[in-house]
Amino acid sequence: MTNDLPSPAQPLKIGTRGSPLALAQAYETRARLMAAFDLPDDAFAIVVIKTSGDDRVLIDADRPLKEIGNKGLFTKEIEEAMLDGFIDIAVHSMKDMPVEQPAGLLLDTYLPREDVRDAFVSPHHAALADLPEGAIVGTSSLRRRAQLLSRRPDLNVVEFRGNVQTRLRKLNDGVAQATFLAMAGLNRLGMDDVPCCAIEVDDMLPAVAQGAIGIERRADDTRARDMLAAIHDGVTAQRLAAERAFLAALDGSCETPIGALAELDGDMLRLRGEILRPDGSACYSDAAEGAIADGPKIGRAMAARLLAQAGPDFFKA
């Protein structure tokens, strides 16, 4: 392994989208690899890859994301670049990742998970409860939209897309009175000055894998495998195994409002999950616990129970 480490002459190429948050996640990955192997920063190359999703959200800025395409919109070109050997690894926000990877690629490395909570962001109101009736709230997340309307059907929820900086600019321009962001993203960007209030998970269950960074590699790349093993966080992997099994069993996509959170306590895992109608008119939730190793089984069983309660046409309503 020592003789096969990257160098300034032959750097390890890290693929990422170009948003400030995506770059921050790529830099965190690089920093952890530098520390693990005592390497200089120029032993790595950050390669920005524009995806079809990046273009589409600009062209179709007012259309809901579910009408543009699924989560693969933001990974296709990056994964193709990796399969072609143009990059060696790719850094992703795990909440944006499909539950299946293309043949030849593996997503099996996770960095320590950040804050999983959503943040209520408003320049004029301290908390969600302070919003007046009929207030305009912007979000592109079907989950957040459904959860919000389930609790506050009096609010006017509008499409609100873009990276963190774009959404904050829209908020300051008065397009909406409030929005939601991930606390993890704000923390990773060092945006302590954003007027926000963290929403406890008991009040708003986060998206599957929210706050987690995943690193994808070619299945046959033993150097990347061995290097990534040094920065892999096993606890995050155990939590995500349960959450993503729950999501996979629900056939989760950008079109399905789903929340889930796995937490560990000693050798036990507790999973909470919920499914909602897009308009927030119905919500089914469940919780279960068991051995950590049984996390995926717990997730699949919970999905089956919720689907049985909700009925086969639940997401179509």
3-state secondary structure 193-249: CCCEEEECCCCCCCCCCCCCEEEEEECCCHHHHHHHHCCCCHHHHHHHHHHHHHHHH
In the chain, pLDDT over 90 holds for what percent of residues? 78
Q: Residue 90: pLDDT band by 50, 70, 90 thresholds?
A: very high
What amino acid positions are annotated as catalytic residues?
A: 96
Kindly give the residue spans of alpha helices, DSSP state H, lying in the chain.
Answer: 20-37, 52-59, 65-68, 76-83, 142-151, 164-172, 183-188, 222-229, 234-249, 295-310
Q: Nearest-CA neighbor of 268 among 303, 244, 294, 286?
A: 294
In the chain, pLDDT over 70 holds for what percent of residues? 90
Q: Nearest-CA neighbor of 152 among 121, 127, 184?
A: 127
213-266 pLDDT tens trace: 999 999 999 999 999 999 999 999 999 999 999 999 997 555 679 999 999 999
State the average pLDDT over residues 165-187: 92
- Say what the pLDDT of residue 51 is: 76
Q: CA angle 250-243-282, nearest 5°? A: 50
For the chain, helix (H) and strand (E) counts, in that order, are 10, 13
Q: Residue 82: pLDDT band by 50, 70, 90 thresholds?
A: very high
Say how far apart CA 86 and CA 78 lie, in whole Å.
9
- Say what the pLDDT of residue 315 is: 66
The contacts of residue 177 (CB under 8 Å, 6+ apart) are 122, 124, 125, 131, 135, 136, 137
* 298 pLDDT higher than 90: yes
Q: Please, are residues 286 and 276 in contact by the beta-carbon 8 Å criterion?
A: no
* 68 pLDDT higher than 70: no
Domains of the chain: 2-113+211-232 (3.40.190.10), 118-199 (3.40.190.10), 243-310 (3.30.160.40)
Token match 């192997």: residue?
37
Q: CA of 195: how far to CAs of 25, 180, 198, in Å?
A: 22, 11, 10
Helix or strand holding residue 158 (H, E): strand 156-158
- Say what the pLDDT of residue 160 is: 86
